[in-house]
Amino acid sequence: MADRDEIILGFTEEQVMMRDMFRKLAKDSIEPLAAEIDRSGEYPDALIEEFKELGVMGHGFPEEYGGGGGSTFESCIMVEEIAKVCHNSAMMIGRQELAGFPIMVAGTDEQKKKWLPKLAGVEIASAFALTEPDAGSDAAGVKTKAVKQGTDYVLNGSKRFISHSDVADIILVFARTAESGFEALSCFIVEKGTPGLTIGKSEKKLGQRAVHSCEIFFDDVHVPEENLLGGKEGIGFLTAMKILEMTRPVVGAAGVGLAEGALGYALDYAKERIQFGKPIVAFQVTQFKIAQLAMEIEQARCMVYAAARCCQAGLPEANKLGAMAKVAGTDIAMKASLEAIQIMGGSGYMEDYPVERFFRDAKLLQIVEGTNEINRQVIGRAVIGKLPKK
């Protein structure tokens, strides 16, 4: 008999096997460590090594550069399964692609040959530095400047909330090479240890604690012109928007996985918790909560995989559907984790159970890769089309 994911979502037989492999990895290797990862705020090297051996962190890189040649669709499969038990781990497996995707999309042949095999093989780590103190949702408002001096570009400014920047060997830095307009932004590959580059403290966060987010400061940082992404100025903004288009379905998948995990824990608890002489799952109010969550998770899941297919096919609708998948997946993550706590009552509020961790991790999903408000704006503009002239 065909697997339900083969029928409903069009998984191939190989993708079903991949799903089952990652489900086992999540249960056997990741779930037992998830609570301690959250408590300590540190990610274990042993898990990174296991991911490396399985080719997890290089899955999305082209085979010609030593990667797994995987698609956005398959990245969603991986992330969904791992996010069911540990959101820190779901975000960790995409660390290499933070720099890899921009280089794949816009890099020169020389930049691809130099950096992609190292990223695919997890020889180096990477970070993606776009956000600044005054430029978050307004990506075009970046103030970090890059000025050409001889054969170098000199960078001055700062970045904020940059994930993995404390361990990154290369950082993809977006900086202004002109005064105004979308074509004012360029992107640079900045290497660890470059004079003038300073990584600030790791922020104390509500959730996703093992994915460190830091400030970055640039004080006359000299970057050789061969590290200008694509070998030309002015492509930074379009590159950043293209990367968001590629990654939003995957963030949606992380949200769906988190929601599935939260609902699963709450359901198991509700079957065992006895009140008024019967398990609380027997009460209609609990059944209605579970039914509503199950419906919305299924809807979001279908949307995520539809968006992933559009993205990898390069369809014009990919930007709109990617934003929809991101919003749907992350909103249900927030709702499911909150409702899971309510179903479990006082126990759900305690660190003895994982749903309070899921709740804390879910909130960030509604903020990263463009806030859900910004994504709704993307969706609205795509649906409405050109605004009528006054």
Instruction: Identify whether residues 282 and 368 lie together within a single domain.
Output: yes
Rounded to 5 degrees, what angle do the CA atoms 47, 50, 56 make?
A: 105
Query: Is there a domain that residue 390 lies in?
Result: no
Is residue 281 within 8 Å of residue 264, measured between CB atoms?
no
Most distant CA pair in the chain: distance in Å?
80
Catalytic-role residue among 36, 226, 369, 373: 369
pLDDT > 70? residue 390: no
Rounded to 5 degrees, what angle do the CA atoms 191, 197, 203 make?
A: 105
Tally of domains within the chain: 3
pLDDT over 70 for what percent of the chain?
99
CATH number of domain containing 370: 1.20.140.10
369 an active-site residue? yes
Instruction: Identify whether residues 223 and 251 lie together within a single domain.
Output: no
Instruction: Identify whether residues 76 and 189 lie together within a single domain.
Output: no
Instruction: Identify whether residues 79 and 106 lie together within a single domain.
Output: yes
The pTM is what?
0.94
Q: Collapse the DSSP code of 295 into the 3-class scheme (helix H, G, I; strand E, B; otherwise coil) and give the result.
A: helix
Query: Is there a domain that residue 290 lies in?
Result: yes
The pair of three-digit structure tokens given for residue 97, joined into one six-digit string:
């692609």
| pLDDT, tens digit, 9 for 90 and up, residues 9-22 | 999 999 999 999 99
| pLDDT, tens digit, 9 for 90 and up, residues 26-67 | 999 999 999 999 999 999 999 999 999 888 999 999 999 999
Listed residues 199, 234, 269: the one ending a domain: 234
Query: Is there a domain that residue 389 lies in?
Result: no
- Cα gap 123→345, rounded to integer Å: 45
Query: Is there a domain that residue 275 lies in?
Result: yes
CATH number of domain containing 192: 2.40.110.10
pLDDT > 80? residue 308: yes
| pLDDT, tens digit, 9 for 90 and up, residues 196-222 | 999 999 999 999 999 999 999 999 999
Listed residues 116, 150, 185: the one ending a domain: 116
Query: Is there a domain that residue 97 lies in?
Result: yes
Instruction: Identify whether residues 253 and 357 lie together within a single domain.
Output: yes
Instruction: Give residue 248's domain range.
Output: 238-384
pLDDT over 90 for what percent of the chain?
89
Query: Is there a domain that residue 66 lies in?
Result: yes
Instruction: Identify whether residues 157 and 226 lie together within a single domain.
Output: yes
Query: Is there a domain that residue 132 lies in?
Result: yes
Instruction: Identify whether residues 77 and 139 lie together within a single domain.
Output: no
Instruction: Identify whether residues 216 and 267 lie together within a single domain.
Output: no
